[in-house]
Structure 1
Amino acid sequence: MISPAASDFAGGDRALRAGAVGTIVPWVVDGFVYVKGDPDEPMAGAQVGARARMPSFDPPWIVVHHRLDAVHAVRWPGRLFRVRSVPAVTEEERAALADAAQNLRVGASYSRVFAVDVLEELRPAVLFGPNGDAVVDVLERADQLTESVASDLAVARHPDAGDAYRRAWDRWLSGQPNGAVYRDGDHDGVLAVPGAGPVGSPIGPAFALVWRCVTGSARQRGGSAAFTVDEDDDEILLEPWSTAGVALMESAMVLGAPELVDDADRAVLTAAWQAVRRS
């Protein structure tokens, strides 16, 4: 299970990468690319109908996910594209693609390529399930979170929210192929359970993105005063940001996967969200 800490998202995507699997695929593949907004990315300015190509054969490569539910969104906001890889023409290109695939495990969900044709741009909300638009509302609030609103969220969080969040996770795990081993655990504040099934959570990468956005907001608006370092030199998010982040994750659970909560838990998990959503 993956639980949040500020350091999990300060310099990488350690939490969700723990559940990723790679694979070797044919030289031409259709799939999906999530572009996280870095202006130096080869697909930063991608347009439908155009071709995006890396300037060289050196990593980082373009990662094409074969399934929508396997897309590894590590930052918010971002753009989501449906693409088709461009086949290798020269021996140099074929050799470079073979090198890029060397460390990928058989049967996995992505491939590394150097050029793609952009077929379609999709709403990133589709990564979070059928109620993804509601989850996006939480992400946007997390991305723009101020210390004042974080304080309001922390104060308004229901004292029973942690238990309600754990119950929602247990209900979801009961429907996952490998979920039984993780049931009845401590899921308070959990971002993902990568080993439970094909996806790591009821709403895909949304919990991790919410926590990353809150951490980014704390860094931008709270500065060094929003963090401390524990005995293992891990950076820890302080109050009110940490409780605000958990409250937003709990809200995303209800809004993104309402079938996992009953009426009583829905009220508990959305208490903080209802208190600030119009502010």
Structure 2
Amino acid sequence: MMPTEDEVMAVLRQIETGDVTLVLEQDPQEQIKGDILYRASNGWTIEVSNWSGEFAGIVEIGLPDGSILDMDHFDRHMPGVAEYFPDEDVAWRAYRMKAVETGFIYLSEGKLGRFADAEEGTTESNPSSEPPWIIVDHSLRDVTVARWPGRLWLAQVLERLEPQGHRGNYTRCTSVKIVREMPTHYLFGPYGEQVEQVLRFAGGLDRGGAERLASHRHPDAAELTAQGWHRWQALVTGTENTPDRDMRGVVRAANNLKSPVGHGLSLAHGAVWDAAERIDGAAAFEEDEDERRLIGPWAAAGSAMLETVWGLGAPELFDVPEREKLLRAWQKRPGHDEV
């Protein structure tokens, strides 16, 4: 039986504390490049990518029964393992490697610039220390995704701006090395692949599709999205769930508290907005002094996409009957005839 991500991360933490020890087959400090194999005292093997003695990520984990967890498995099922990097002390003590400062770079397709050809091992550098700088976010939760689709990389910081002079969980850089490209669904939580399916569908909506979604929404679905927000906020803040705000249709929470699907809600709504503008132009909207909003079937379709993202992207927050309500319009979308 394959271990879960939590079980693999627990072993990595045991390596950090010394409860699980590693024996290496060759000294990484004597290798310019090449994977290093470690045999762990719990019977596992761990293969680590090595760049001139620097820890460049876990490539593969072997289990006592002969099963292998490779990078493709990490990408699909264990993003925490895929992005694991030990701190300086652990890297040297446990792996005899140097730690590197790493983080994430996301760019939308229209903003790739020189990163369009970025691949493992390439270095991207600014010609000077003047802006615009290369922004490396320290965690996936910190990555801002204003537009989708795009590309996501794990990158090593080579040259950082000093002093940083900012607040926020990111590093301003003038030079980075690409460690590897990562699936963009990492940005939308454990069920990110399904969230991306919704984004692709929403971006291709036509008027008939919008009308079909609108006609099949469950009357309780909008209220369930509000419940999703309240339950999520209670979970991450550890406070009692006392709803005091109508959160129906909300795509971003107050205090920059991201949803369980990252920016997936705002992107889904934005995809419907773009489709409505492309197809019906100004007729798809109404405006007052300080707000422009979708109307008619486009408004309902936008709500249906939010309900779908909640149901597919955060299933742990809802019971089965609630998920069925959230996903009713999705199950009746064009080209899909399942009940």
**TM tier relative to shorter chain:** 0.7 to 0.9
The reply to whether residue 239 of structure 1 matches residue 311 of structure 2 is no
CA distance in 1, matches of 2:334, 2:315: 18
TM-score under structure 1 length normalisation = 0.77
CA distance in 1, matches of 2:149, 2:197: 12
Once the two structures are superposed, residues 139-185 of structure 1 have per-residue CA deviations (whole angstroms, 9 ceiling, x without a partner) of 11111111211111111111111112122222212212265587342
CA distance in 2, matches of 1:175, 1:238: 33
The structural deviation recorded for 1:61 is: 2.4
- Distance 1:274-1:55 versus aligned 2 partners, 3 A rule: farther
Q: 1:151 aligns with which of 193, 208, 211?
A: 211
- Matched pairs, number: 237
Identify the structure with the greater strand proportion: 2
CA distance in 2, matches of 1:224, 1:252: 26
Identity %, equivalent residues = 36
- Distance 1:54-1:149 versus aligned 2 partners, 3 A rule: farther
2:261 is matched with: 203
- Distance 1:181-1:262 versus aligned 2 partners, 3 A rule: closer
- The letter of the residue matching 1:205 is H
Q: 2:143 aligns with which of 71, 87, 92?
A: 71
The reply to whether residue 216 of structure 1 matches residue 280 of structure 2 is no
The structural deviation recorded for 1:57 is: 4.2
1:171 is matched with: 231
2:307 is matched with: 250
CA distance in 2, matches of 1:61, 1:180: 41
Conservation of the 8 A alpha-carbon contact between 1:143 and 1:217: yes
Query: Which consecutive unaligned segments of at least 5 residues does structure 1 have?
Result: 1-27, 89-96
CA distance in 1, matches of 2:179, 2:268: 28
- 1:48-67 alignment to 2 at 5 Å? 48-54=120-126, 57-67=129-139
The structural deviation recorded for 1:238 is: 2.3
Q: 2:317 aligns with which of 260, 267, 270?
A: 260
Q: 1:37 aligns with which of 86, 100, 109?
A: 109
Give the secondary-structure state (helix, strand or coil) at the position aligned to 2:276: helix
Conservation of the 8 A alpha-carbon contact between 1:174 and 1:183: no
Once the two structures are superposed, residues 72-126 of structure 1 have per-residue CA deviations (whole angstroms, 9 ceiling, x without a partner) of 11111011100012226xxxxxxxx237x33x12xx3112222211111111111
For the pair shown, the structure with the greater C-alpha radius of gyration is 2
Superposition CA RMSD, Å: 2.2
- Distance 1:259-1:178 versus aligned 2 partners, 3 A rule: closer
CA distance in 1, matches of 2:319, 2:289: 40
Q: 1:136 aligns with which of 190, 196, 199?
A: 196
Once the two structures are superposed, residues 189-211 of structure 1 have per-residue CA deviations (whole angstroms, 9 ceiling, x without a partner) of 11122538xx5111111101111
1:127 is matched with: 187
The structural deviation recorded for 1:56 is: 5.0
- The letter of the residue matching 2:152 is L
Query: Which consecutive unaligned segments of at least 5 residues does structure 2 have?
Result: 1-99
Give the secondary-structure state (helix, strand or coil) at the position aligned to 1:243: helix
